[in-house]
Copies of this chain bind each other. A is one copy, B any other.
Amino acid sequence: MKSKLNLYFFFIVLLFLLTNCAVPTKSDPLPSWNNGITKQSIIDFVNEATDSANPNFVSLDERIAVFDNDGTLWTEQPIYFQIMFVIDRVKEMAKDHPEWKEKQPYKAVLENDIKTLFSSEKWISELFVITHTGMSTAEFYKIGHEWLKKAKHPKFNRPLTDMVFQPMLELMKYLRQNGFKTYIVSGGGQTFIRLFAEQVYGIPPEKIIGTLFEAEFKIVDGKPEIYRLPKVFLFNDKGVKAVAIEKFIGRIPVMAFGNSDGDLQMLQYTQSGKGKRFMALVHHTDSTREYAYDRNSRIGQLNKAWDEAVSNNWTLIDMKNDWKVIYPFELDQ
């Protein structure tokens, strides 16, 4: 009888182990990253942050990682994709505005005269306002989704939502699996990013911090709506990114990823927290598979932040050498 009881006991223990224990998996959490210092430093940071016996352990509440969007999570060349939206939208709206044919900056858009268009920041702002406001948020989402379905990248002739960086998708998933909250902190429009971020990045609307327009609560025909007003409320770039993190998150992140001078203050703010922190910049070094640009680029200039990265020992992610593939579609080829 004793041996039978032992057998019961053995079965029960075995079953308990099988059903209740997470077996550590040896599979690579970042398969699209080449083995090397960059990849290893990320894995080391996460291993330490999640090991309660390690002096660099980070409590679950504090595991916050922030990501710039344009140039960090998806391509930002030859122009920010949101500007493609602006241009397409102006052309669409021009049907109801015959006077735009002779009026700048609309004329430049309608004549595809990008050089003239980009000669004035005020013009760009005006076009953002006219295409992003004067409607409810629900209406904006509808317009945006319609556009995203059709828009293609000029170099790759693929949907813009295909132009996301596979290594960064893996990184965000890996971090979330390790209890990190992943936030986007972008100079791009919050509502614009919300169009695709949940589906493409797995980041829900409440974790998207971006440039905001003023808005008001209105009741139209008995139905409440959030109506978008023609004024920027928060332009989420440079120091404002740090301020926005304080307002939206209320804790200093432990990891921050950017790619340009607009991300410098976000990385400085992240570094200012107590304990070990991880700051990284995506360096666009691959003119074949994506684009190569840095110190002198009109879009995504990486100059001051690069110098700061070097003197602070932040991680520079070398796209060409650190990433096995750039885009998810390369995995299917």
Q: Which A residues are closer than 8 A to B by beta carbons? A: 4, 8, 11-12, 15-16, 19-20, 61, 137, 181, 190, 194, 204-206, 208, 212, 215-219, 223-226, 238-243, 246-251, 265, 268-269, 271-272
Of all chain B residues, the one with the shortest Cβ separation from A183 is B206
Q: Given known contacts A243-B215, A243-B216, is B11 in contact with A268 (CB within 8 Å)?
A: no
A279 CB, nearest partner CB in chain B, Å:
12
Q: Say whether A247 contacts B15, CB under 8 Å.
A: no
CA distance A217 to B246 in the complex (A): 10
Q: Say whether B268 contacts A224, CB under 8 Å.
A: yes
CA distance A160 to B248 in the complex (A): 26
Can you give 17 A-B contacts (C-beta < 8 A)? Answer: A8-B8, A16-B19, A19-B20, A190-B250, A194-B250, A205-B250, A205-B251, A206-B249, A216-B243, A217-B240, A217-B241, A217-B269, A218-B239, A224-B242, A225-B272, A226-B246, A248-B248
Q: Which residues of B contact A240 (CB under 8 A)?
A: 217
Most chain B CB inside 10 Å of its own CB: which residue of A137, A224, A251, A268: A224
Of all chain B residues, the one with the shortest Cβ separation from A14 is B12
Of all chain B residues, the one with the shortest Cβ separation from A9 is B11
A213 CB, nearest partner CB in chain B, Å:
10
Q: Say whether A224 contacts B269, CB under 8 Å.
A: yes
Pick the residue among B11, B205, B218, B265 that contacts A224 (CB under 8 A): B265
Most chain B CB inside 10 Å of its own CB: which residue of A4, A137, A205: A205
Q: Which residues of B contact A271 (CB under 8 A)?
A: 224
A285 CB, nearest partner CB in chain B, Å:
28
Q: Which residues of B contact A219 (CB under 8 A)?
A: 268
Q: Say whether B265 contacts A217, CB under 8 Å.
A: yes
Q: Given known contacts A4-B4, A20-B19, A190-B247, is B242 in contact with A217 (CB within 8 Å)?
A: yes
Q: Say whether B246 contacts A137, CB under 8 Å.
A: yes
Q: Say whether B272 contacts A223, CB under 8 Å.
A: yes
Q: Say whether A247 contacts B12, CB under 8 Å.
A: no
Please list the 7 inter-chain residue pairs (A to B) with the smallest Cβ-Cβ separation, ordered nearest first: A205-B250, A217-B239, A217-B242, A224-B272, A226-B246, A215-B243, A206-B249
Q: Which residues of B contact A4 (CB under 8 A)?
A: 4
Q: Which residues of B contact A243 (CB under 8 A)?
A: 215-217, 226
Of all chain B residues, the one with the shortest Cβ separation from A243 is B215
Q: Say whether B216 contacts A239, CB under 8 Å.
A: yes
Q: Which residues of B contact A224 (CB under 8 A)?
A: 242, 265, 268-269, 271-272
CA distance A268 to B238 in the complex (A): 36
Pick the residue among B15, B61, B215, B218 that contacts A12 (CB under 8 A): B15
Q: Given known contacts A226-B243, A240-B217, is B248 in contact with A206 (CB within 8 Å)?
A: yes
19 additional contacts (CB under 8 A) given A217-B242, A224-B265 = A4-B4, A8-B8, A8-B11, A11-B11, A12-B15, A19-B20, A181-B206, A190-B247, A205-B251, A206-B248, A215-B243, A215-B247, A217-B240, A219-B268, A223-B272, A224-B268, A224-B272, A226-B246, A248-B248
A201 CB, nearest partner CB in chain B, Å:
14
Of all chain B residues, the one with the shortest Cβ separation from A215 is B243
